[in-house]
Structures are given as C-alpha cells and as structure tokens.
Amino acid sequence: MCSLRNSILVVLLVLLGPLAVAQERDTVAQLSLEKSVITEQLQRPIAINSRGVSGEVNVSKIAAIPSFLGNADPIRFVRLLPSVSLNTEIEGGLYMQGSDHSHTLISQHGIPIYGATHLLGLFSVFNTPHFTGMRYDTSAGKEPRIGGIIDMQIQDTLARRFGGDVSVGLLNAQGTLRIPTGPNSNLIVSARRTYVNLLYGRWLQFYGYPIFYGFTDANLTWQWRPTRRDRIWVDAFGSLDDVTAKGGIVQEFKAKWFNALGAVHWNHYFPEATLKQSVYGTAFGLYPHINAFNIYGTMNSYIQDYGYRGELLWKDWEFGAHFSYYRVQPQNPYTEGHQNDSVNNGAVPVQNAFETILSAYYSRNLGYYLQGKVGLSGSWYLSPEKRSWWGLSPEVKLIANFMDAGKLDFTYAIKRQNLFNLGMTDIGLPCEFWVMAGDIQAPQWAHNFSLAYNVKWLGVDFSVEVYYKLLRNQLEYTGSIMDIFNGMYSLESNTRRGKGRAYGVNLMAQKSMGKFTGWISYAFSRSLRTFDGDYDGGEYPSKHERLHEVDVVATYDFGKVDVGATFALATGTPYTRPEALYVLGSRLVCDYGPYNGNRLPTYYKLDLSVNWYFRRTAKGKTGLNFSLYNALGSKNALGYGIHMNKDKSAYTFGPFSLNLRFLPSLAFFHTF
C-alpha cells in the first residue's frame, strides 16, 4: 500500500503542479519489466517489417530512440524509416514514397487526425504511452488516400490494477492513469502540457526573432467488455496550441489551433467472423492573426469530418463500408487597413461534401510458395458544387515466400482521394488548410507500383524496395503570406493544376534481437510535378524531394541503463529563389527565378539519449532520461526567406534556421 500511495502522490503532484498537466499511461511501461521478460522484449524488433515497406512499430522501444529534447514521439520515429523522407525542424508532414504529406492518412484507431503535429513539426499530437502500437504501410489500402497510412492503436487489454506513469522534464510534463472501473471495464486518461519558453525561449527563434509558444493535449479511452464476444471503446482526444511571434516584416503574429476527436468503436466476434464498427467526429481548426505594414489580417480555416466505418472479416474475405460528411472552411482572409479590404473579406465560402466507399478484398494461398490478394473499392463523391464523381480502385498483391531464401512482394493499385491540403508552407508556421475536390480541381488519383524483397541473414533483416507512382489531378498553392497584405489574395489564381510522378529505391538492414538493436537505411527518391499553363513549363521537383537520404538508428540495453542514437544525412530540398526584391509603394515585390530551381545545403543531425533506471521491475520503473538534441551542433538551413535589417530600411533574401543547437534535456519518469 505504501508503494501505491507514493505512486499516487507523485502523479497528483504533476497533475496539480503549476507547470504540468498529466499524460496517459506509458505503453512504454512495457519496457519496465523484470529481467526474465526483458529478455523476451529484446527479441522483438523496433520496427516489425512485413514487406520492408509496411508493418508495426514496437511502441515499447520508442523510449530508447532519441527524439526532440527527450520527448519520445512516434511520428518523429517513423520519419527514420527509409520509405519516409526526412523532415526539417519546421515541417510537420510525412512524405511517404514521394507523395505529399496530405496523401498519407494519419489516424487514431482508424479515425483521421487532420492536424497531427504541434508547432513547426517539433512534436506530434500523440502521447506515446497512450498507445500500444503503431501500424504503418506505404499503401493506404481501403482508405481514401493515394499514399500510405500511419495508425496509432489504442489499448486492447483490460487493466486489472490501478497503474500509470508520470514524466517531468525541462520541456514538458505528462502523466497517465490506468483505472479499472469494474470487472469488465477500465479507463485510461492522459494529458501533457509544455512550457517551452521557460528554459528554451532564447533558442526558440525563427528568422532571428523569438517565438512564445505552448500546447496542451489530452486523451481519454474507456474500454468495456459487456460479453465475451463484444468489446466497446469510447475514445476522445483534444489538443490546443498557442503561439506568438514578433519581429521582422511581421510586427506581430498570433495563432491558435486545435484538434478534437470523439469516437465509439464496437467489435463483435462471431464464431467464424469479426464485425468492426465505428461512429466518429473529428475536426481541426486554425485561427491566426497577423499585423504587418500596419495592416491587420486573419486567415481562419477548419475541417470537420463526421462518419461511419464498418468492416467484416470472414474467412478469406474482408468487406468494408465508409461514409463521411465533410464541412470545410478553406483559408478565408480578412483584413483591416488596406484599400482592397472588400476584395479579401469573406470571399471563400464553407464547403460541404459527402463521400462513400464500399470495398471487398479476398486472400488465398496459391501454392508453390505463392499467396495472392485482390481487392476492389468503389467510391462515390458529391462535391460542394453538387457535382458527382465515382470510381473504382482495384488492388492486386502477389507474395512469393521462399522461407529462408526470403520473401518477394509485388503490389499494384489505383488510389483515389477527394481532399487537398494547400498553404504557405515555406514560412514554417501553421498556415495550411484543406480544400475539397470540385470546381477547383477534380478528385486526385494515382497508379501505385511497388516490388519489395525481404530476407533474414546472419541475424539481420535485409529489405529492398523499388516503387513507381503516377499522380493525376494534383494541386499546388503558389501564393505567399504577402498576398493578403498586398490585397491580391485569390485561392483560384494562386493554385496550379497538373500531374506528377515519383519513383525510388529503399534499402534497409535491421538488427532486431539482442541487447544491441537498430538499423541503417538508404533511400533514393524522385518526386516530380508538371503543371498546366505557361508558368516556366516543364517538370519540376516537388518541395519535399530529397534525392539521397541515410538514416542510422542504434540502441543498446545495459540493464540499468539503455542508450540510443540517431543520425540523419540527406540532400537538401528544392526552393524557388528570387532574382530581385524591391518595395513598390507599400508593397514588397519579388521577381522569382526558375520554380524549385535551387536546393538547400545538405542536411545532417545527430541526436543522443540515455535512460538511467533507479528501479526497473515487472511492477514499474523509475529513472532519468538525458537527451542531447543536435549533438554535432549542425546549423542546417531550413529554408530561404525575406530578412529585414534593424532600421527596416532594406530587405534581403537568404537562408534561415532555428537556433536549436546543442540542446540538452533532463526528465524524470516514474511508472507503476
């Protein structure tokens, strides 16, 4: 009882402390096991690849992987996989196999999350301890995305005793409580609060000017087993970000944005089949306020998605149904103090759209080491303008399993997507927004081809994959934040329509057993776009293209101490460089060179982490985490932008970076 009392006291101190809000139970607590079980855990790989390009992530291992200031983050973790391109510190997307980040579905137990990162992509919105695993795949399958999928999986087993964990560090505080609420139910509550500027304010800068920032997020999951054949989950999630920045050409920038999710999941297990059903609502909203050149402006936007998902698994068949109603406000500028206020204000209406998808997949063992899977999805979409589109999405998979000689996997699929994500991503602030397909552009679709080979040799898993994609009905935003203040904002005129293609090779070698685990990977990728019209003509690299990338991940478990390191080396991304920059009246005008005709310098970064355990048993763990972000002190150029001198008499265009160099962090963690 004394141990339980002390554990409750530690959690309450964090929950009620002036700087902290609790986060949820550490699924990383799976790592705090007695010695006999630790040996079993070490036999589990960090990333469990089924085809070299898909599989599951062992969440209990993520705590040993260095992340931003010691905060274990599944999204930053998955960016180290060869199929996902490296992100800089100001990007929050997942660029999987040359696709745009909006082509990847990021979800929580199958429910979409439309704003999956906090400010500048430094943190994801997912508290790692709240989840038991993360499923990833370069193909979204039955989902309405033309890229891949990242799905955070919620708890499936009932808590038999009260437990939880707490973590308090220099950056944030988080805690989790796992509470039995009856013989057949339990409640998991998690929350997190950051206080970035308390100690790191002097380093958190953009364009050389300080950023004041904080966020809160929380999860609640209630699980109930009313009968031995039924399981019900009630899941809720919310997050809120608040940022203020001053200096340079922007006199003041303030923004708040949020995520909200509510869902009820019900699984019923028949003797020979499983029925899974979900009813949900999910939303993301952004409310920025900008003051520049004595002109005040806002760019509010949001997306709401309400729907039903059903799946029936029967023998070799998978049947699915998905219905969604969307309510979307694209970026809608409002200005005061400009002669063209009437042009900007309230010009972008709310969009309402409906989407339905029916699917059937069949798997069969073909003999002679062969397995096959074929599927067909039919979709119908009603646009905001009441235009109707429908389409078929076939998918074929052929797997040749040669046992010790390895496994060969071929996939071809047509994928469709009715959502576009646009915005002023170059400035690194949350100015992106969603738009429904319709008059602005027909629904996008793609041909996806991939061939992967996996083999285990001398205790190491080797994988190689080649892929090719043809993207149709692509849409890209070409405007900038200055359009609002120049009175020239137009969603229609600032979008370019076209097509794209992506191809590449991914290589990976992973050691998944023993005290030493990790991987080394290399990726070569091209992601190209061709746009309609006379704007420079021809084919261009996408903004996120990295020709070459090497990632190294390593962890070693000494028992009382485990250490981890990650190293990334990658080609710089393309950008469009101005040839001339001048002021015309009250307007700042740029004459640009070839579109994406230049590249940033090579990017490289090393992160280190150490977990020191005071207590590490089957009942919990207590210890300290020390992490060192950017151990090599590399000052990577994150982009190019407009700089203004101190007396505001001249403008220049040059590289910028965040002042995040040699940043150490220390955190205390306790699990019971």
Write the secondary structure of 521-574 as one string of H (helix), E (strand) and C (coil). Answer: EEEEEEEEEEECCCCCCCEEECCCCCCEEEEEEEEEECCCEEEEEEEEEECCCE
Q: How confident is the model at residue 322 (pLDDT cuts 50, 70, 90)?
A: very high
Do the beta carbons of residue 420 and residue 368 sit within 8 Å?
Answer: no
Average pLDDT over residues 246-275: 88
Check residue 301 and give its pLDDT.
Answer: 92
**More reliable by pLDDT, 345 or 397:** 397
CA–CA dist 497, 500 (Å, integer): 10
Q: What is the pLDDT of residue 650?
A: 63
**What's the chain's average pLDDT?**
81
- Candidate from 18-27, 200-209, 324-333, 518-527 with smallest mean pLDDT: 18-27
137-146, 365-374, 576-585: least confidently modelled range: 576-585
Mean pLDDT of the 513-522 span: 89
Residues in contact with 40: Cβ distance below 8 Å, sequence separation at least 6, in sequence order: 33
pLDDT value of residue 68:
59
pLDDT in tens, 391-404: 999 999 999 998 88
Lowest mean pLDDT segment, chosen from 33-37, 121-125, 194-198: 33-37
CB 482 within 8 A of CB 426: no
Quick one: pLDDT at residue 44?
42
Best CA proximity match to 322, nearest among 361, 267, 278, 256: 278
The predicted structure's pLDDT at residue 106: 93
Q: Which of 379-383, 539-543, 583-587 has the highest mean pLDDT?
A: 379-383
3-state class (DSSP) for residue 419: strand
- Average pLDDT of 392-418? 93
The domain limits of the chain are: 13-671
**Within a 13 Å sphere around the CA of 239, how many CA atoms are in the beta-carbon half?**
27
The predicted model gives 635-660 an average pLDDT of: 67
Tell me which residue of 8, 64, 2, 6 sits closest to 555, measured CA to CA: 64
Highest mean pLDDT pick, 413-417, 479-483, 657-661? 413-417
Tell whether the model's pLDDT for residue 66 goes beyond 70: no
Which CATH code, of 3.40.50.300, 2.40.170.20, 3.30.450.20, 1.10.1660.10, is assigned to 13-671?
2.40.170.20
Neighbours of 390 (CB within 10 A): 12
pLDDT on residue 525: 95
Question: Residue 646's CB: how many other CB atoms inside 10 A?
Answer: 6
Name the more confident of 670 and 35: 670
Contact yes or no for 558/42 (Cβ under 8 A)? no
* pLDDT at site 119: 67
Query: Among the ranges 53-67, 234-248, 421-435, which has the highest mean pLDDT value?
Result: 234-248
Q: What is the pLDDT of residues 571-618, one digit of tens each?
A: 998 888 777 766 666 566 677 778 788 888 899 999 898 989 999 888
Which value, to the nearest 10 degrees, does the dihedral of the CA atoms of residues 205, 209, 212, 213 take? -40
- Residues 633 and 391: their CA atoms lie apart, in Å, by 51
- pTM of the entire structure? 0.85
- Res 79: pLDDT: 83
For residue 118, the SS3 value is: coil
Tokens of 652: 């220049």
Between 644 and 630, whose confidence is greater? Answer: 630
* Higher-scoring residue by pLDDT: 295, 610: 610
Q: What is the reported pLDDT for 205?
A: 64
pLDDT bucket at 27, cuts 50 / 70 / 90: very low
Q: Which amino acid is at 14?
A: V
**Are 126 and 215 within 8 A, CB to CB?**
no
Sheet holding 105-108, edge to edge: 47-49, 54-58, 131-137, 149-154, 105-108, 111-112
Q: What is the mean pLDDT of residues 81-103?
A: 83
Q: What pLDDT does residue 71 have?
A: 64
Q: What is the DSSP letter of 125?
A: S
Residue 60 has pLDDT above 70, yes or no: no
What mean pLDDT comes out for the span 332-359?
78
| CA atoms of 149 and 467, how far apart (whole Å) | 16
Q: Is the pLDDT of residue 234 over 50?
A: yes
Q: Are 451 and 488 in contact (CB under 8 A)?
A: no
142 class by beta-carbon count within 10 Å (0-12 exposed, 13-18 middle, 19+ buried): buried
| CA 293 to the chain's CA centroid | 34
Which range has the worst mean pLDDT, 189-203, 231-245, 367-381?
189-203
